[in-house]
Structure 1
Amino acid sequence: MPKGLMLTDLAIAGFLLIVAKVLRVHLPILQRLYVPSAVLAGLMGLCLGPAVANILPWTETYTANAGLLTAALFSALGLATDIPSPRVVAKRAGSLWAFNQIASVSQWLFAALFGLFLTTFFWPEINPGFGVTLSAGFMGGHGSASVVGEIFNHLGWEDGFTLSLTFATVGIFLSISIGMLILQFALKMGWISTFTSFDNMDDFERKGLIKPESQQPAMKDTMSSLSIDTFALHAALVVVVTASSYVLANYLSSFNEQVNIPTFVTGFLAGMLVRLIAKRTNASNYLCDGAFNHAAGISTDYLIIFGISAIKITVLAQYLAPMVIMATAGVLFTLWLVLWVAPRIMGENWFEKGIFSWGWLTGTVAMGIALLRIVDPKMRSKVLDDYAIAYVPGSITDIFIISLMPVAMFNGYHWEALGIGLSYLLIVLLIWRFVFNKHPKLIADNS
């Protein structure tokens, strides 16, 4: 079990988050950069923490908080996730599922192999798993970056933790900054007729606030307060599933010294199991997905704060040159996926789906939603609905690749990983072409 979140650490992180939100509300430069408050709070935690000024009284175990919050995040996601039928996936979100699989797996393979190329011919002193830290940070944000970092820690390469979290932080800034350039390019190419620029947003949107008259309840009451508070029950489920994720991970890892099952895997699966039992017993009538989604959101914000604050500046100085090259190559490859592969697979509304995919392929799903709202403020494209349907079958692949790719690259199974990855991509392409009845017709009319 983890050493746990200390009250002091939570108080510091909470204070930084409040200050960051106030700054974002009142400083237009932060609004124009679309900087999430959690990222700003994490940067303040980094600058004021032991890596730089050493002012904040973090506890000695504050770096372990990211791992616990990652388990809580995936436990909450599992509790809020239904398993869609294959027919629904094929009918509603087949092309988006196919692109998500192709984009995510190919990004992992590209990053792993390009990193291997750099460490073999230019920086042989760097661990061959270096490239994996880019895809861990770019595609999954601080959640998967923390997971991969912990795996590398377990394998004996501590620098992998800092590198993964750094790429995740850099990815968030690249997600929005380059995303806005993509929107300008799309406007010139005629792929979109207009988008909601910063100057066209109202004051509330710029500050990241919701108008009082438009505010909605965060969750619904499903329990009588005479017996238990509704949020207390939902919080209890998240806490219990999170704790069970450690117990299950430790148990499953005990069978072989070479196997280390990440807690995010057992947390996500345990959460889905609890949800399935609740549906079979009709207890789901008294559960609120909004509560679980907000629990995941809280975990994500605090995870970002602790993750960025735990970055070691001295480590980054040693890896600066290969990191810049790696990030540049990763951005170019992801641009190719979004601007060349996406229109050939996703068909109608390909750009809306593509700009959303750019957000989560470089930052987080939240970044994808932010970019999507700029080009499709009324959500007519139904991209988020399709993504929710495609998420579950796609997440299974993510679990395997996040868990196994760092181990494979660290232990020298490079070509085995490439062979399995390419084989999977071929299977996805065949499913997309024949099962989903999609024809490989280039969308050239809008280009």
Structure 2
Amino acid sequence: MNIWDLVLDLGIASLLLLLAKLIRVRVSAIQHLFIPVSMIAGLLGLALGPYALDVLPWSDSFTSYAGVLITVIFAAVGLATQFPSAREVLGRAGTLWAFNQTVTVSQWCVGLVAGWLMVATLWPELSPGFGLIMPAGFMGGHGTAVAIGESFQQLGWGDAFTLALSSATFGIFAAIFLGMALLNFGVNRGWLKGLPRFADMSTELRRGLVKEEDRRVVAREGISSMSVDTFAVHAAVVLVVTALAFLMSNALSGLHDLVSVPKFACAFLLGCIARTVLQKSGAGRFLDDGIFNHTAGGATDFLIVFGIASIQISVLITYAVPMALLMAAGLAMCIFLVLVVAPRMLGEEWFEKGIFSWGWMTGTVAMGILLLRVADPQMKSKVLDDYAIAYVPGAVVDILLISLMPMLVLSGYGWQALAGMLGYIVIVQLLARTFRGSAARLQPAG
């Protein structure tokens, strides 16, 4: 591979993104489906790529870019992560944190058990980690899918990469179509009032465009361009963290044959450390979290394009039946969590919180925001604020699961991992019962 292969691949992905955006803006039927532009671009890349029509001149290395991009994403996320205080978590978002943790860990438990049942009854040739393909794709979308797929690849199960990406693609479709069905079900049951029609939705929501009067400043410039461009400095920080994560992962993974430390986990850790150092030194006040967030968002869009275009259709066909059963089990569990568990844990506005959670538990946070804006177009609820507070402590558990589960299951420690996760769910449920009383005590007087 030479440098122009990289330029060509990025150019192809960029062209697909622009074409997909044009389709989203111009084609009303696509707008009705609320499909993200990056997903449209990825599906175009898959249809025109080497595993289908073989029209696009991708290089032989285009399937490897997703693994690099996920490391960049977690580096940027770590640099933009502000850890909330215990008062904020308990006082504002304790029950939502508990519900999020229950959802997250339950997916891993159900997936693991479903996979074992398939191996024990119908498909003994399946990998013991097959069931993890469901949470790999549902929780966190294509980013998490790439992380899990790469971990399984390094541990000797190469098909996992395609299966995880397929699970993530299926999950986004489920987030949209079943999410809209759940919204209408909620209206019919009286849980939600005034669901807007598509014709009444804003231009921003339908076409993905922002009116001039609603546009926001992307970032605050804290560094004078007379010395160096502020975007160059932010890019440099992200790339330094990404490079150090690569070196750290290789060093730690080389300590023992059974040790495989993902690069994205190192990137998140080093990103958080770098943020702390920058803030303590005073340099952090010249940097802007918005730029880091946009770096993560832009890298995610390209990751989805490369990820979907990398799906090997022949592998997916081979696993079609067990994958269908696994996806069905995952959807059944998610529906149960939204319609049965959410009203018992989330209190007021449980349906708004539940429908938002449906979006991210099957697809991505962006899908959750989309559904929430349909359910609550004026954003009168504080769901997003509470989620932002609850996200960071929950993300620590997410990263531990993504980092450790493939290695534990393929190394024969699946039962121990399952017992640990079930024990954690019990602890979370016990904590959830105390959060309302604790929240009242933690509120400041007056």
TM-score exceeds 0.5: yes
Shift of 1:438: 7.7
Conservation of the 8 A alpha-carbon contact between 1:31 and 1:207: yes
**Hey, what does 1:443 align to over in structure 2?**
none
Q: Does 1:89 align with 2:77?
A: no
Q: Which runs of 4+ in 1 moved over 4 A?
A: none
CA distance in 1, matches of 2:147, 2:347: 34
Q: Which residue of 2 aligns with 1:101?
A: 101
**Residue in structure 2 matched with residue 192 of structure 1 by the alignment:** 192
Match of 2:369 in 1: 369
Question: Counterpart in 2 of 1:135?
Answer: 135
Q: Which secondary structure state, in structure 1, belongs to the residue aligned with residue 124 of structure 2?
A: coil
- The one-letter code matched in structure 2 to 1:259 is V
Compute the displacement of 1:204 (Å): 4.3
Look up the match of 2:317. Answer: 317
Cα deviation per residue 1:255-286 (whole Å; 9 max; x = unaligned)?
21111111111111111111111221222211
Map of 1:222 onto structure 2: 222
In the other structure, the counterpart of 2:15 is 15
Give deviations 1:377-419, integer Å, cap 9, x for gaps.
2222111111111111101100111112122222332211111
Provide the alpha-carbon RMSD of the alignment.
1.5
What's the TM-score, normalizing by structure 2? 0.95
Q: Does 1:270 align with 2:275?
A: no
TM-superposition CA deviations, 1:277-300 (whole Å, max 9, x none): 122122221111110110010010
Partner of 1:150: 150
What amino acid sits opposite 2:95 in the alignment?
S
Indicate the SS of the match to 1:437. Answer: helix
Three-state SS of the structure 1 residue aligned to 2:139 is helix
What is aligned with 2:444?
Answer: none
Aligned to 1:192, what secondary structure does the other structure show?
coil
Determine the C-alpha separation between the residues in 2 that align with 1:215 and 1:394: 31
Residues 190 and 5 of structure 1, relative CA distance in 2, 3 Å threshold: farther
Asked if the contact 1:142–1:307 (Cα under 8 Å) also holds between the matched residues in 2, the reply is yes
Q: In the alignment, which residue of structure 1 is the partner of 2:201?
A: 201
1:340-359 pair list within 5 angstroms: 340-359=340-359
The equivalent of 1:58 in structure 2 is 58
Deviations 1:148-184 (A, max 9, x none): 1001101111111100000001110110100000000
Structure 1 segment 238-257 matched on structure 2, within 5 A: 238-257=238-257
Q: Counterparts of 1:158 and 1:27 in 2: how far apart (Å)?
A: 37
TM-score where L is the length of structure 1: 0.95
Contact 2:203-2:210 at 8 Å conserved across structures: no
Q: Contact 1:95/1:345 (CA < 8 Å) preserved in 2?
A: yes
Verify the 8 A CA contact 2:242 2:267 in the aligned structure 1.
Answer: yes
**What per-residue deviation string (whole Å, max 9, x for no partner) do you get for residues 194-248 of structure 1?**
1223122144431111112211111111111111111111111111111111111
Q: Give the aligned partner of residue 380 of structure 1.
A: 380
Amino acid at match of 1:356: F
Q: Are 1:433 and 2:436 counterparts?
A: no
Task: Map residues 419-430 of structure 1 onto 2, 5 A cutoff.
Answer: 419-430=419-430
Cα distance 1:12–1:139, how it changes in 2: closer, same or farther (>3 A)? Answer: same
SS of residue in 1 equivalent to 2:318: helix
SS in 1 for 2:140: helix
Check the 8 A contact 1:4/1:68 in 2, yes or no.
Answer: no
Is the 1:95–1:432 contact (alpha carbons within 8 Å) kept by the matching residues of 2? yes
Alignment length, in residue pairs? 437
Partner Cα distance (1:73, 1:218) in 2: 18
Give 5+ residue unaligned stretches, structure 2: 440-446
Tell whether the 8 Å contact from 2:90 to 2:438 is kept in structure 1 after alignment. Answer: no
Q: 1:44 to 1:402 in 2, by over 3 A?
A: same
SS at match of 1:268: helix
CA displacement at 1:436 relative to structure 2: 4.7
d(CA) in 2 for partners of 1:437, 1:328: 38
1: distance between equivalents of 2:205 and 2:415?
A: 48
Within 1, Cα distance between the matches of 2:204 and 2:379?
Answer: 19
Correspondence 1:237 to 2:219? no
Q: 1:4 touches 1:65 (CA, 8 Å); kept in 2? A: no
Instruction: Give, as a single letter, the amino acid of the residue that structure 1 aligns with 2:411.
Output: N
Tell me, in whole angstroms, the C-alpha distance in 1 between the residues paired with 2:254 and 2:437: 45
Separation in 1, partners of 2:107, 2:357: 12
* Equivalent residues of 1:432, 1:438 under 8 A apart: no
User: Cα distance 1:338–1:92, how it changes in 2: closer, same or farther (>3 A)?
Assistant: same
1:33 — aligned with what?
33
Paired with 2:139 and 2:204, the residues of 1 have a C-alpha distance of 29
* Change over 3 Å in CA distance of 1:245–1:187 after alignment to 2: same
Q: Tell me the distance in 2 between the aligned counterparts of 1:141 and 1:196.
A: 27
CA offset at residue 375 of structure 1?
A: 1.0
Shift of 1:70: 0.2
The alignment status of 1:173 with 2:173, answered yes or no, reads: yes
For residues 196 and 99 of structure 1, what CA distance do their matches in structure 2 show? 27
Quote the Cα distance in structure 2 between the aligned partners of 1:181 and 1:432. 29
Helix, strand or coil at the partner of 1:278 = helix
- Counterpart of 1:351, as a letter, is F
- 1:42 corresponds in structure 2 to 42
Q: Which residue of 2 aligns with 1:402?
A: 402
Residue 435 of structure 1 deviates from its aligned partner by 4.8
For 1:445, the equivalent position in structure 2 comes to none
Percentage of identical aligned residues: 49
Deviations 1:96-131 (CA, angstroms, capped at 9, x unpaired): 110000110011110111111012201111112111
Q: 1:47 and 1:160 mapped to 2: Cα distance? A: 20
Moved more, 10-19 or 54-63: 54-63
SS at match of 1:302: helix
1:304-351 CA distances to partner (integer Å, 9 max, x unpaired)?
000000000000111111111111111111010111111111112111
**Aligned residue identity for 1:421:** M
SS at match of 1:378: coil
Q: Give the 3-state SS of the residue equivalent to 1:51 in structure 2.
A: coil
Q: What letter matches 1:57 in structure 2?
A: P
Aligned match of 2:331: 331
CA contact (8 A) 1:104 1:139 kept: yes
The answer to whether the 8 A contact 1:148-1:161 is kept is yes
